[in-house]
Amino acid sequence: MLLHRELAYGDLATFHVLDTRQYRSDQLTEAFPGGPQDPRVNDPARTLLGDEQERWLFDRLDRSYARWNLVAQQTIMAEVDYDGGPGVSVNHDQWDGYAVSRNRLLGFVEQRRPANPVVLSGDWHSAWVNDLRLDFSRPETEVLATELVGTSISSGCGWASAVKAARPANPHVKYLNPDRRGYTRVTMTPDLLRADYRVVASAADTAAPATTDSSWVVEAGRPGAQPG
């Protein structure tokens, strides 16, 4: 099925909606929530998007006239190392299992500079704000884009303890909440994008009021989210 598509909201925002399931190379390992990094993640023949969809995305980003370019897709794009020591443990279902695809996309962003790229992600039952850079091991390098990861509305995060234990090993993770259910509200003006992480005390209580757990802003022309 053809699922990837582009949705434009005037010249304020374009949503580049991806399909990271149908065209990808086989997942290397199903270790969960993370496992030792398979060296084949760096195989240039491996792909997450497939060649045709990747070309489509680069072309759309290159030709976009929107103030904000939002890339909506299914799995966490930032590197997440679950090994607190010298080793590397990743979830191979996410972009960590397709490192060459991620490097091509972030390399394209670095070279072509599409306006204000923001990645919208999900499927990890937890809320995150991540800096995206070409080399996650060097926090001094340039932030190329912001990733906003929305939590699940009702499903719990049974691996919350592993997620929280991994945070010190991932300095590009600026916000993390695997414990509360909710949604992320994003509002935009030409100059500012704001993300409010909304949560409820209990996903089982339909009368529970939603509150804002944390707010983040991205200024146009300045990649990287700041507390808002």
Domain count, the chain: 1
Neighbouring residues of 160: CB distance < 8 A, sequence distance ≥ 6: 126, 178, 179
Is the residue at 213 inside a domain? no
Q: Is residue 205 part of a domain?
A: no
Is the pLDDT score of 68 beyond 90? Answer: yes
Residue found under tokens 């912001």: 146
Region 193-208: mean pLDDT is 95
pLDDT of 84: 84
Residues composing the chain: 228
Q: What is the pLDDT of residue 154?
A: 93
- pTM above 0.75? yes
Q: Is residue 106 part of a domain?
A: yes
Decide if 167 is inside a domain. Answer: yes
Question: Is the residue at 227 inside a domain?
Answer: no
**pLDDT tens-digit series, residues 104-138:** 999 999 999 999 999 999 999 999 999 999 999 99
Percent helix, strand, coil in the chain (nearest 5)? 20, 30, 50
Q: Output the domain CATH number for residue 142.
A: 3.60.21.70
**168 lies in some domain:** yes
Whole-number pLDDT of residue 62 = 98
Task: Identify whether 196 is part of a domain.
Answer: no
Quick: pLDDT tens for 32-66.
999 999 999 999 999 999 999 999 999 999 999 99
**Does a structural domain hold residue 23?**
yes
Does the pLDDT of residue 215 top 90, yes or no?
yes
How far is Cα 214 from Cα 174, in angstroms, rounded to an integer? 11
